[in-house]
Amino acid sequence: MNSLSPTNHNDRKPNRNDQKQGEVVERRFQVLVVDDEPNIRSGLAKGLVKIVDKIETASDVNEALDKFESGDFQLVIADVRLPGDRDGLDLLTLIRQHKPDTSVIVITAHGTVETAVDAMRRGAFDFITKPVDLDLIREQVTKALEHYRLQSENRELKGRLANAGAISGIIGNCSAMRDVYQQVRQVATTDATVLIQGESGTGKELIARALHDLSTRSANPFIAVNLGALPETLLESELFGHEKGSFTGAARQKPGCFEQAFGGTLFLDEITEIPPKSQIDLLRVLETGEFSRVGGEETMQSDARIISATNKDIGEMTQDGSFRDDLYYRLNIVPIRVPSLRERREDIPLLADHFLTYFCLRHQRPPKQLSDDTMQMLASVNWPGNVRQLRNLMERLVVTISGSTIEVNHLPKEIQQVTPAGNVQVKSLVEATEKAEIDAITAALGVCDYHRERAAKMLGVSVRTLHYKMSRHGLH
């Protein structure tokens, strides 16, 4: 059969996919048209010549498979009814098995609901009935190729992150993070109890999930509970469960976190927020491996690996008596400290690139990149909210900036006003203290999406104190 391709690429309309984030890329889109009618093949080839780089045609399944296996096609357009023992739906199945990322648009002159459902179930990108509307087919081809491009960029990003040594979604290649990776891999395959320490927003739960994912318990549940978010009256029920009628509102029996995590991992986040009585109950479970539901008499066995985390100095809390030292020793069998973002500034470009790509895909926005000046400024920030703060900023920029390059003037004022590292400016203690206070409040509000109660808790002050300081500094 004839192979149709544009003879003059200079006449082709500019393809915005030719330029990839930060570099010019020769991205060639190739399409295979499969139809037993020569006029359909010729018409589609001519109609698509300006939006794709190369078009091949075939008249039956066997010819299509020969060309598909020897070529590099991102999209196949196939008629349902084809000569021979196999039809277009069989071709769709074979293509998806051989190269799942390839998009397939199915066309037919005999469209039925059953055929359309069957095509979509087999993985078709779209189902179009004849006579083919060229405007519609161009629109769907453009969407299919955009879908392919986004998938390719996502794969490339994952490959870069894998090469950087990331595990279970943790991103970083600095020496401090490589030390964390080594600790995680060493302890993951054991059942040792782990205490993860680090500032808020550093990714402690990601470390806990990595420990679970790399363990022999990975096929069983990973149960996470934020102890700081639970009122004391519900904490015991949440951890150990309760029987029906054991207290007002207990309308049914409810398994607790220990029971739900049987055979898996129980992650106790903000462990230092647990009240004294619950500390005793938790210690008893760790020592005996047994617990009972609230209002129940049956003794149940615990088979959950315990991983806990805190953003406070738990060792200091044992000294002042606010946290039991015997519980601390039980939890701190293997300590893992997660570094703050300001301790791993060399990871900021990798993280920023990852978050930009992720949120562009999530919000279906064109790819964006940071200018060199913008990246240099981001590397100068202290990031009190750590990776979470950087992540939130990247999402904000993706959804609010229309251009492809993010410049310094696009950044929030509190970021732009940061003094670059190395340019030391001497201030009075009063000025320095006030600026530090303003920076901390602004960062906390940003991390907490301006939820004042959560921001006050992060800052370690009352909501009333936060309101007073915001008013004093003119922060609204």
Domain boundaries, the chain: 9-161, 175-339, 343-423, 426-476
Q: How confident is the model at residue 145, as a pLDDT?
A: 87
> Which architecture does CATH list for 343-423?
Orthogonal Bundle (1.10)
Q: How confident is the model at residue 168, as a pLDDT?
A: 60
CATH of domain 175-339: 3.40.50.300
Residue 196 near residue 208 (C-beta atoms within 8 A): yes
Full pLDDT tens readout for the chain, 476 residues: 333 333 333 333 334 334 333 333 345 789 999 999 999 999 999 999 888 999 999 999 999 999 999 888 999 999 999 999 999 999 999 998 888 888 999 998 876 778 888 888 888 888 888 888 889 999 999 988 888 887 776 666 555 544 444 566 688 888 899 899 999 989 999 999 999 999 999 999 999 999 998 898 988 999 999 998 888 888 888 999 988 887 877 788 889 999 999 999 999 999 999 999 899 999 999 999 999 998 888 889 999 999 999 999 998 899 889 999 999 999 999 999 999 999 999 999 999 999 999 999 889 888 899 999 999 899 888 899 999 999 999 999 999 998 889 999 999 988 877 645 444 344 455 566 777 788 888 888 877 777 888 888 888 888 877 877 887 777 76
Report the C-alpha gap between 356 and 2 in whole angstroms: 43
Place of tokens 């606010």: 322
Q: How confident is the model at residue 197, as a pLDDT?
A: 96
Report the C-alpha gap between 327 and 284 in whole angstroms: 9
Q: How confident is the model at residue 6, as a pLDDT?
A: 33
What count of Cα atoms within 13 Å lies in the side-chain half-sphere of residue 132? 27
What count of Cα atoms within 13 Å lies in the side-chain half-sphere of residue 102? 24
Q: How confident is the model at residue 161, as a pLDDT?
A: 46
Place of tokens 């799942």: 100
Domains 175-339 and 426-476 share a fold: no
Q: How confident is the model at residue 26, as a pLDDT?
A: 41
Q: How confident is the model at residue 345, as a pLDDT?
A: 92
Q: How confident is the model at residue 307, as a pLDDT?
A: 97
Query: Which CB contacts under 8 angstroms, 24+ apart, belong to 348-353?
Result: 348/375, 348/378, 348/379, 348/390, 349/375, 349/379, 350/160, 350/161, 350/164, 350/171, 350/172, 350/173, 351/171, 351/172, 351/387, 351/390, 351/391, 352/378, 352/390, 352/394, 353/157
The pTM for the full model equals 0.56
Enter the tokens of residue 11. Answer: 């006449």
Q: How confident is the model at residue 392, as a pLDDT?
A: 95
- Which CATH superfamily is 9-161 part of? Response regulator (3.40.50.2300)
CATH of domain 426-476: 1.10.10.60
